[in-house]
Amino acid sequence: MSGLLVFTALGLEARALREGLPSMPGGAKVVRTGMGPRNAAAHAARALAAPGEPVTGRPGAVAVAGVGGALDRRLRPGDVVVASEVWWDGQALPCPSARLLQAELARAGLPVVTGPLVTSGHLVSGAERGSLSARGALVVDMESGPVAAACTEAGPGGGLPFAAVRIVVDTPDVPLLRPATLRGGARALRTLRRAGRPLARWALAQLITPAGADGAAGAHQEEVRSS
């Protein structure tokens, strides 16, 4: 079993993550899927085996990371949202270790909250954005849902550890295709780069087995911090 596998939609996102992720036991791999749930589902299917299928190098932990659109008006470009659950295809897919990842990101000095993330097959704007916010969702993307579903089905005993991290690039007040969004995009990519090390620490915590976890976890955490 390998270490961390991170899916991201865009080349700029993949570059920022590769620059930010440290070396870690088991390694960390970034896969660019292209935009949209169909592309994300296809890449997840190739990377994660169906139950009972032998696959060499199946990841020990999986994340989707990149930029996203804020639904909550309190969020600003550069803010980090860790999904507590992913709404996709009529399901609410839980992310049980969201609080742990939130704590790692906060320790790195990043502005971070946790809450529901919605995956949509289209760009969300206007009234739809307001409706999703009223239901309690914080952020929207186009890739996390299929990957979260694949992780739920892929691993034994409830699936592979999964996290979704979105850096806000546009908001209800500053939507896409505005000059201010370009500045927000640059800020979001810098934040995404800084999120690499906390992501690695989160993944290591998922890989440690309960037996002897405390000592092993401490050693691996120090390895990531010093690399």
Q: Place 59 in a pLDDT band, splitting at 50, 70 and 90.
A: confident
Q: pLDDT tens digits, residue range 74-92?
A: 999 899 999 999 999 999 9
Q: Place 60 in a pLDDT band, splitting at 50, 70 and 90.
A: confident
* Higher pLDDT among residues 36 and 3, named by residue: 36
Q: Which two tokens stand for residue 12?
A: 């700029």
Contact residues for 16 (Cβ-Cβ < 8 A; gap 6+): 189, 190, 192, 193, 196
Confidence (pLDDT) at 221: 47
Q: Count other Cβ atoms within 10 Å, centred on residue 66.
A: 30
Give 57's DSSP letter: T
- Percent of the chain exceeding pLDDT 90 equals 66
List the single range of 78-87, 95-104, 188-197, 209-218 with lowest mean pLDDT.
Answer: 209-218
Rounded distance, CA 187 to CA 42, Å? Answer: 30
Confidence (pLDDT) at 177: 60
Q: pLDDT tens digits, residue range 147-192?
A: 999 999 875 656 889 999 999 998 888 776 665 566 778 889 999 9
Helix (H, G, I), strand (E, B) or coil at 2: strand
Confidence (pLDDT) at 123: 87
Residue 20 pLDDT > 60: yes
List the single range of 61-75, 134-148, 167-181 with lowest mean pLDDT.
Answer: 167-181
Closest by alpha carbon to 117, among 155, 101, 11, 32?
A: 101
* Higher pLDDT among residues 196 and 216, named by residue: 196
- Percent of the chain exceeding pLDDT 70 equals 81
Helix (H, G, I), strand (E, B) or coil at 91: strand
Q: What is the mean pLDDT of the chain?
A: 85
